[in-house]
Amino acid sequence: MKRAVVESPRRWWLRLAAEATAPRAARELVARACAAVHEEQYMELGQLVVSELVSNAVRHTGTTAIEVEVRLAEDRLWLRVHDQGEGMPAIVAPEQRTVGGVGLELISRVAQSWGVTPDPRGGKDVWCVLPAGDTVNGPAASPG
């Protein structure tokens, strides 16, 4: 599948195949977005988080395509990953984990807020907001 990239001021969107190379493409999108608007303070954490979100979509949803959206504001980075899978992701308790299973817990610890929004067209959006600086774990809020 060809990747489509849509860029607008402080917003980037990427559609890609749900395959092993998808997390790398999503990390590259975050890096390009942060560099384009000189918001490099989000780059490392943003790449880690988007990689986790996209990896989950590839591994657990059975979907063939994934959409990744990056939005940058002066005080936050908003990430969204859409897939057509039916299941809803959840944090797995440590005693119930097998191999892996820590991605959403990691995201819940570093994000100001995160959530899952069902899409009326099918599938869902898994999103998170990363704050500027060291402020984490603020009140949950929909990205609106």
Q: Which CATH class is domain 4-131?
A: alpha beta
CA angle, residues 112, 91, 76, in degrees to nearest 5 = 15
pLDDT at 50: 96
CB 130 within 8 Å of CB 49: yes
The domain limits of the chain are 4-131
Question: What is the Cα Rg of the chain in Å?
Answer: 14
pTM, two decimals, is: 0.83
User: Is the model more confident about 74 or about 5?
Assistant: 74
Distances (CA, A) of 47 to 115, 118, 122, 131: 18, 24, 26, 14
pLDDT at 75: 86
Give me 91's structure tokens. Answer: 């944090």
Q: Note the pLDDT tens digit of each residue in 34-76.
A: 999 888 899 999 999 999 999 999 988 888 999 999 999 878 9
Backbone angles phi and psi of 66, in degrees to 5: -130, 140
Backbone angles phi and psi of 67, in degrees to 5: -110, 135
pLDDT at 92: 75
Looking at residues 84-95, what average pLDDT do you find?
81
User: pLDDT band at residue 91, thresholds of 50, 70 and 90?
Assistant: confident
